[in-house]
Amino acid sequence: MRESLLQEAESVLEEWLRARGEVPTAETSEGFRLLALHRQGARGVPSFNACRETCREIAYHYNLLAEESRYTESMMAMLVEHLKLFVRGKLEVEGLGDFCCSSRPLRLESAAQEKEKLHG
Amino acid sequence: MSKYQKVAYYPGCALEGTGHAYNRSTKVLGKELGLELDEVKNWNCCGAMEVKNVDPKVQTYLSSRVMSIAANQMQASVVMAPCNGCYHNLKKAEHDLAHDADSREVVERISKKAGHETYRAGQVETIHALDWIKDGVGEDELKRRVKNSLKGLKVANYYGCMYTRPRHIFPEKDQGAGSESTSQPHFMDDLLAAAGAENVDFPLKTACCGGAHTLSDSDTSTKLVLNILRAAEAAGADVIATECPTCHSGLEMHQVRAEKVLGQKTRVKMLYFTQLLGVALGVSPRSLGVHENVSDGLEALREKGLA
């Protein structure tokens, strides 16, 4: 189960990368391809770091499940769900995470266009 | 005496509206702990979303004006902002003024026009309410003052994003032992543990809630928040502790919306960390504004014999 959840998380990031015209890396970072994919996905998109900790927690829970039998997969599943929701939201609305996580304005371009319209 | 014993207090707009209970409980907590708050005179909006979205440099100016009043008119060396948005914006302004000549030029020009002294980077230190209690009082002293231990109360601590991201505007964080971590923040966990609470292992403590898009893309926000609430419940939490009025009202609002729109009910309650610490110090929940929260935290406190 933990293997399939990890793969699901990787496939979410692969979708993000493909949508941006990139080839998802096969490399690993700290032993996880998921973390390498996140690093690749955040290149040039600082707001993508909004899901950095979620990815790291997925890796942590993956390890936890291997070592501690008292844990169940439900929390890891919720983390993967959160990653999925965030990436889906980001694919629909590019600015998701921009304002808060990278401290970038959300609608600077449209504001500039409005200004130009007003002042000719 | 701690340098945080007396600080310039910048409540910000949210604490006068939706986050009124946070304002009230912050003031009560300070009084109980012998910490002094001196409200910034004639403060203005930090530039929040509205101004930052139109002209980020004007946002830098607005935040700098707050710091200028604190430094130049009140001779304060520390500004405390309990709202993550205000805290983040003041920190960002500090960073921009230290590193960007254009920002300095704009701030200088507008400050002159407005007729007040220009804020210079480094004049004040901006801190969050968590730093204020953590460094101004500390866990040991807090433990000593607890009259109504939160023992038995399981808490998931939710920090949101603007308290730690982007990392470069918080140079004091990630500095090893004793400093706050941007990837695994723990100050709120530390304080509530000192008050007797049982912090649950909560992996979504800095997870995205869709925040800034909550009005334009409510469904995404509702789903993200619902997942945060469910994860807190799965972790065994009775309450989610918050340290930001926007996070707090976002969790409350989308909890209600998730039930109405998606038919998904969650029962975890939201309480400000200042309310929880106040309860631990023996202050009545009413004095801490618990009854003003949308989420009925009183019920959770009663269940645990804390109210």
Contact criterion met (CB < 8 Å) for A103 and B166: yes
Q: How many contacts does A have with B, using Cβ atoms within 8 A? A: 111
Inter-chain CB proximity B165 and A51 less than 8 Å = no
A82 touches chain B (CB under 8 A): yes
What number is the ipTM of this complex? Answer: 0.90
Rounded CA gap, B215 and B172, in Å? 33
pLDDT tier at A72, thresholds 50, 70, 90 = confident
Interface contact flag, A50 B165, Cβ < 8 Å: yes
| Band of pLDDT at residue B49, cut at 50, 70 and 90 | confident
In this complex, is the C-beta atom of B45 within 8 Å of any C-beta atom belonging to chain A? no
Chain B 107-126, residues with CB within 8 Å of chain A CB atoms: none
pLDDT reported for residue A71: 77
* Residues of chain A numbered 38-67 and touching chain B (CB < 8 Å): 46, 49-54, 56-57, 60-61
For residue A87, the enclosing domain spans 2-119
Q: What would the two tokens of residue B17 be?
A: 């509206």
User: How many structural domains compose chain A?
Assistant: 1
Distance from CA of B202 to the nearest CA of A (A): 9
Of B92, B160, B208, which is closest to A103 when you measure between CB atoms? B92
Lowest mean pLDDT of A68-77, B31-40, B222-231, B240-249, name the range.
A68-77
> What confidence tens digit (pLDDT) does each residue in B73-111 have?
999 999 999 999 999 999 999 999 999 999 999 999 999
Site from B91, B165, B186 to mutate, A interface, most A CB atoms within 10 angstroms: B165
- Answer whether B52 sits within 8 Å of A105, measured CB to CB: yes
Whole-number Cα distances in Å, B298 to A90, B268, B281, B282: 37, 12, 16, 14
The reported pLDDT for the residue numbered A108 is 64
pLDDT band at A105 (very low <50, low <70, confident <90, very high): confident
Per CB-CB distance under 8 Å, the chain B contacts of A107 are 53-54
pLDDT higher than 70, residue A111: no
Question: In sequence order, which residues have a C-beta less than 8 Å from that of residue B54 and are 6 or more positions away?
Answer: A105, A107, A108, A111
pLDDT digits (tens, 9 = 90+) for B286-299: 999 999 999 989 99
Half-sphere CA count of B244, side-chain side, radius 13 A: 22
**Average per-residue pLDDT in chain A?**
90
Q: What is the pLDDT of residue A5?
A: 97
**Residue B54 pLDDT > 90, yes or no?**
no
Under an 8 A CB cutoff, do A106 and B208 touch?
Answer: no
The pLDDT value recorded for residue A69 is 72
Cβ neighbours around B96 below 10 Å, total: 23
Q: Check CB contact under 8 Å for A111 and B55.
A: yes
The alpha-carbon gap from B25 to the nearest alpha carbon of chain A, in Å, equals 25
Interface residue of B164, B167, B213, B262 to substitute, partner A, most A CBs within 10 Å: B213
Structure confidence by residue, pLDDT tens digits, B178-196: 999 999 999 999 999 999 9
Q: Which of residues 221-240 of B touch A (CB under 8 A)?
A: 223-224, 227-228, 230-231, 234-235
Quick one: closest CA in B to A48, which residue? B208
- What is the spatial distance between Cα A52 and Cα A35, in angstroms, rounded to a whole number? 8
**Measured between CB atoms, which of B162, B165, B230 is closest to A49?**
B165
Query: What's domain B6-128's architecture?
Result: Up-down Bundle (1.20)
pLDDT at A115 over 70: no
Same topology, domains B6-128 and B147-303? Answer is: no
CB atoms within 10 A of CB B172: 12
Distance (Å) of CA B5 to CA A76, B71, B74, B136: 42, 16, 15, 6
Q: What is the pLDDT of residue A114?
A: 67
For A77-101, the pLDDT digits (tens) are 999 999 999 999 999 888 888 878 8
Which residue in B208, B213, B219, B222 has the most chain A C-beta atoms within 10 A of its own C-beta, making it the best mutation to test that interface?
Answer: B208
The C-alpha of A54 sits at a distance from chain B's nearest C-alpha, in angstroms, of 7
The predicted model gives A107-111 an average pLDDT of: 64
Which of B165, B217, B228 is nearest residue A93 as measured by Cβ atoms? B217
Task: Give yes or no for A102 touching B (CB within 8 A).
Answer: yes
pTM above 0.80, yes or no: yes
Query: What ranges do the domains of chain B cover?
Result: 6-128, 147-303
Q: Which residues of B262-292 are buried (b: 16+ CB within 10 A; e: fewer)?
A: eeeebebbbbbbbbbbbbbbebebeebbbeb
Closest residue, chain A, to B228 (C-alpha): A82
**Extended strands (E) in B75-119:** 78-81
What is the torsional sign of CA B196, B201, B206, B209? negative
Report CB contact under 8 Å: B208, A50: yes
Q: What gap in Å lies between CA B82 and CA B252, rounded to an integer?
A: 18
Phi, psi angles (nearest 5°) of residue B198: -105, 105
**Confidence category of residue B51, pLDDT binned at 50, 70, 90:** confident
Beta-carbon separation of A54 and B210 below 8 A: no
Q: Could you name the CATH architecture of B147-303?
A: 3-Layer(aba) Sandwich (3.40)
